[in-house]
């Protein structure tokens, strides 16, 4: 995509080289460690894949104007206005300006960062590696779609689009509110609002928890419900981003195992390491 739309991207050579180096490092690392039986090596082999999501998420903020120069917030905020008669992202926090509720919302939003370890480690430690592979493959396939969509259809979100009206720096709270404000201030990018990748990823993980680890599912369920609401409360997303993200998550939960099986049967690659199971 960088080569194809390089005329719209300043310093496109820099981004191309960075992405090429990351790709070669990743493939090389996987090849070198492919047959290691060391638990330590295997752990980092499996952990590096979801860690790369941080890099690619930040990159969508650099590449989101390769195709279109403008954001599409005017369209999505217009849809919100026509459906709800206003902007739920601006009204939600004003209707519930209570410190404890705000703290719960920010805690739920913060929980996004440890959802993969929450379920993933419970599978990995108990040596359910095929189930772990299925979970990570689904998460990566889901996020690959979201990141490509963010580049193709850039949407900054109400946190940026309604910056003058936003309350994100004035929300009450005690512990998780300042933590999330710091993270959003320094790590949030002006992109990735529609569909909500937070909701999509959380939905994929929740459904896999229901499939593989019911105890984790029931402890995770109320947290993820709070996460759905918190994406709007923290003004990171429009309300329509939530059902769209949920639909994306359900879709990739349903198709990922089929795609994984097809790849393993059709191409000369192995996503699940059967020999390691023994």
Per the listing, tokens 């509720």 go with 101
Structural tokens at position 100: 């404890």
| C-alpha distances out from residue 9 to 14, 33, 101, 126, 190, Å | 10, 35, 42, 46, 17
Cα first-last separation, the chain = 41
Per the listing, tokens 């928890």 go with 209
User: Residue 177's pLDDT is what?
Assistant: 82
User: Residue 273's pLDDT is what?
Assistant: 58
Residue spans of alpha helices (H) in 64-189: 73-84, 88-95, 99-110, 115-125, 129-152, 158-161, 176-187
User: Residue 275's pLDDT is what?
Assistant: 47
Locate the domains of the chain by residue range: 71-277
pLDDT 10s digit of each residue in the chain, 278 long?
999 999 989 899 999 999 999 999 999 998 888 888 888 888 898 899 899 999 999 899 899 989 998 999 999 999 999 999 989 988 898 888 888 998 999 999 999 999 999 999 999 999 898 899 999 999 999 999 999 999 999 999 888 888 776 666 667 777 888 888 888 777 677 788 899 999 999 999 999 999 999 999 999 999 999 999 999 998 889 999 999 999 999 999 999 999 999 988 888 766 665 544 44
């Amino acid at each position: 995509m960088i080569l194809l739309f390089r005329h719209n991207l300043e310093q496109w050579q820099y981004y191309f080289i960075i992405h090429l180096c990351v790709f070669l490092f990743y493939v090389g690392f996987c090849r070198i460690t492919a047959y290691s039986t060391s638990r330590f090596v295997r752990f980092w082999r499996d952990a590096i894949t979801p860690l790369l999501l941080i890099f690619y998420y930040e990159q969508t903020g650099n590449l989101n104007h390769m195709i279109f120069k403008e954001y599409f917030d005017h369209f999505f905020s217009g849809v919100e206005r026509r459906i709800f008669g206003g902007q739920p992202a601006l009204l939600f926090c004003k209707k519930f300006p209570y410190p404890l509720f705000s703290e719960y919302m920010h805690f739920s939003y913060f929980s996004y960062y440890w959802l993969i370890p929450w379920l993933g480690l419970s599978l990995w430690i108990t040596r359910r590696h095929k189930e772990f592979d299925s979970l990570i493959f689904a998460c990566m396939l889901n996020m690959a779609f979201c990141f490509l969509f963010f580049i193709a259809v850039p949407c900054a979100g109400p946190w940026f689009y309604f910056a003058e009206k936003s309350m994100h720096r004035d929300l009450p709270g005690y512990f998780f509110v300042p933590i999330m404000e710091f993270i959003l201030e320094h790590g949030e990018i002006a992109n990735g609002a529609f569909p909500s990748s937070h909701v999509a990823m959380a939905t994929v993980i929740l459904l896999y928890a229901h499939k593989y680890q019911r105890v984790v599912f029931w402890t995770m369920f109320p947290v993820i419900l709070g996460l759905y609401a918190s994406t709007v409360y923290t003004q990171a997303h429009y309300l329509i981003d939530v059902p769209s993200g949920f639909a994306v998550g359900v879709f990739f939960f349903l198709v990922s195992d089929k795609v994984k099986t097809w790849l393993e049967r059709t191409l000369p690659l192995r996503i699940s390491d059967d020999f390691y199971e023994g």
